[in-house]
Structure 1
Amino acid sequence: MDDERLIADLHGRWVLGWERDEGDPPFDFRRAFGEFYDFGSPDLRLYDDFDPGQRVATTAAGYGSIWEPHFDRMVSAHHAVDDGPHVIACPDLAASMLVFVARITTPDGATDIRTTTSLVWRRGPDGWRIVREHNSTRVLPAGDLDGRLPVYEAD
């Protein structure tokens, strides 16, 4: 498999790593994303504007600590790729971009979102790993994803 297709596959699987179903065990970021992030890199920069604190994490573990409490509170989170992934790959660095939609359900109700995500990957001894991440999210009108994906109907 060429690098562009490999990165596209990784980015698509990364989106599905954020899936949650009612009754799932506590969210463990490292377990879910150990194959995607460079947990040993001293130069990570990871950002998602959906984080209420809008923090920039400089370690994968630090990024996980942002998301674990939120995902533990969720009843479910279901995602689908809406566009992409679009990939540019060089021998040791690659960039990928995709758009996903998701329905996040908490005890307070459901929120539909559309997120544009850009990842920079670096090839190392363990393969391709994320070293940069930027996500921009727009909250959609309530129920916007109704009927778009059958899995959402069960929420």
Structure 2
Amino acid sequence: MNIHTTDIQNSQSDIIILNNLVQDWVETGWRHTPEAPFDFRERLERFYDWSSEGTQFFDDFDQKRRVNRNVAQYAAIWDEVIPRMRRLTNILVGRPSTLVSSDLAVTSVQFITSFVTAEGEEGRAHTLSSLVWRRSANGWRIIREHGSGLPSQDE
């Protein structure tokens, strides 16, 4: 086996690991139900790089559309918004698409969010997220995130 073959196998292994992480991030990490209330740090700490400089997080589901320069700022948004909802669940659309280069990776993922507001209004949002991951001693961690709403598939 040559070095090139080993690199390809390692990259494929990383892609499998990252795609599994993404599914868990989407479907479990971002879940809020009466049985399992949402707390960003409790649910999502293991996915994000909390200590690095140069991180950036944005999601247009945030009504103020803030660009956050660290995870704590980003977490504060969702810890204020999501627990007030009655329910929020996500399901993947298709499979994540991941590219790996050394200790950096980028993933593109689509998912449907279903939610019930505090007032009982039901809604759905189709989102495209781009995630940049960096490998650390603790595994892969998100250092950049950009989530944008897409037109409903019903439109």
Q: Which has the larger radius of gyration?
A: 2
- TM-score, normalisation: structure 1: 0.85
Alignment of 1:11-26 (within 5 A): 11-16=22-27, 17-25=29-37
Deviations 1:14-46 (A, max 9, x none): 102111112534x32111111100001111100
Match of residue 57, structure 1, among 52, 56, 68: 68
Q: Mean alpha-carbon deviation: is it higher for 1-10 or for 84-93?
A: 1-10
**Unmatched segments (≥5 aa) in structure 1:** 145-155
Report how many residues are paired: 141
**Counterpart Cα distance in 1 of 2:51 and 2:138:** 11
Query: Runs (4+) of structure 1 moved beyond 3 Å?
Result: 138-141
Match of residue 97, structure 2, among 83, 86, 110: 86
**Counterpart Cα distance in 2 of 1:85 and 1:136:** 15
2:139 partner letter: G
- Which residue of 1 is the match for residue 52 of structure 2? 41
Contact in 2 for aligned 1:39/1:61 (Cα 8 Å): yes
1:96 alignment partner, SS class: strand
- Which residue of 1 is the match for residue 143 of structure 2? 131
2:46 alignment partner, SS class: coil
Please give the root-mean-square deviation of Cα atoms over the aligned residues, in Å: 1.6
**Counterpart Cα distance in 2 of 1:135 and 1:43:** 18
**Counterpart Cα distance in 2 of 1:24 and 1:84:** 25
- TM-score, normalisation: structure 2: 0.85
**Counterpart Cα distance in 2 of 1:13 and 1:117:** 14
**Counterpart Cα distance in 1 of 2:151 and 2:118:** 18
- Which residue of 2 is the match for residue 152 of structure 1? none
> Share of identical aligned residues, percent?
35
